[in-house]
Structure 1
Amino acid sequence: MATPPKIPGLGAFADHKSGTPRPATPRFVTAAAWFLCLAAVMQFIASVFAIMHSVSPERRAVLEAQHAAMTGNRPSLEALQNIDVITVVLSALVTAGAYALFSIFLVKGRSWARLGAGILVALTFIQLVGVSYPEGFTTLAQVVCGVLAIALCYLPESSKFFATVKSSRS
Structure 2
Amino acid sequence: MTNPPKIPGLGAFIEKSAGASKPAAPHLVVTAARLLLAAAAVQIIASVMAVMYAASPERLVAIQAQIDAMSGAVPSLEATRNMGVITVVLAGIATVSAYVLFAFFLRKGRTWARVAAGVLAVLTLTQLVGFTMPQGLTTVAQIILGGLAVGLCYLPEANKYFAVAKAARS
Give, in whole Å, the separation in 2 of the partners of 1:142 and 1:49.
Answer: 15
Give the C-alpha shift of residue 57 in structure 1. Answer: 2.1
Query: How far off is 1:75 after superposition?
Result: 1.5
Q: How far apart, in 2, do the equivalents of 1:106 and 1:129 lie? A: 29
Post-superposition offset of 1:19? 6.5
Relative to structure 1, the CA distance from residue 19 to residue 52 in structure 2 (aligned partners, 3 Å threshold; closer, same or farther) is closer
CA distance in 2 between partners of 1:41 and 1:74 (Å): 37
Residue 97 (structure 1) aligned with residue 91 (structure 2) = no
1:48-127 mapped onto 2 (5 Å cutoff): 48-127=48-127
- Equivalents in 1 of 2:168, 2:51: separation in Å? 46
Query: Cα offset for 1:18?
Result: 6.3
Deviations 1:113-169 (A, max 9, x none): 000000001001111122101111011101100001001101100000000010111
Q: 1:30 maps to what in 2?
A: 30
Partners of 1:3 and 1:20 lie apart in 2 by: 20
TM-score normalized with structure 1 length: 0.96
Aligned to 2:6: 6
> How many residue pairs are counted as aligned between the two chains?
170
Give me the whole-angstrom Cα distance separating, in 2, the residues matched to 1:124 and 1:131: 12
TM-score (norm 2): 0.96
Work out whether residues 37 and 99 of structure 1, in 8 Å CA contact, stay in contact via their aligned partners in 2: yes
Letter in 2 for 1:122: V
Q: Any conservation in 2 of the 1:18–1:168 contact (CA below 8 Å)?
A: no
For 1:109, give the aligned amino acid. G
CA contact (8 A) 1:25 1:107 kept: yes
User: Which residue of structure 2 aligns with residue 147 of structure 1?
Assistant: 147
RMSD (CA atoms): 1.2
Partner of 1:167: 167
- Structure 1 segments, 4+ long, off by >3 Å, are none
Q: Which amino acid aligns with 1:123?
A: L
Separation of aligned partners in 2, 1:28 and 1:105: 14
Residue 73 of structure 1 and its aligned partner are, at CA, apart by: 2.2
Contact kept? 1:18, 1:169, Cα under 8 Å: no
Q: Deviations over 1:47-72 (max 9, x none)?
A: 11111111222211110011112222
Q: For residue 108 of structure 2, what is the amino acid of its counterpart?
A: K
Unaligned runs of 5+ in 1: none
Task: Say yes or no: does 1:46 pair with 2:46.
Answer: yes
Cα distance in 2 for partners of 1:82, 1:162 equals: 44
Deviation at 1:93, TM superposition (A): 0.1
Give the secondary structure class of the aligned counterpart of 2:130: coil
Deviations 1:1-34 (A, max 9, x none): 2422211211011112266411011010000000
Q: Which moved more, 1:54-63 or 1:13-22?
A: 13-22
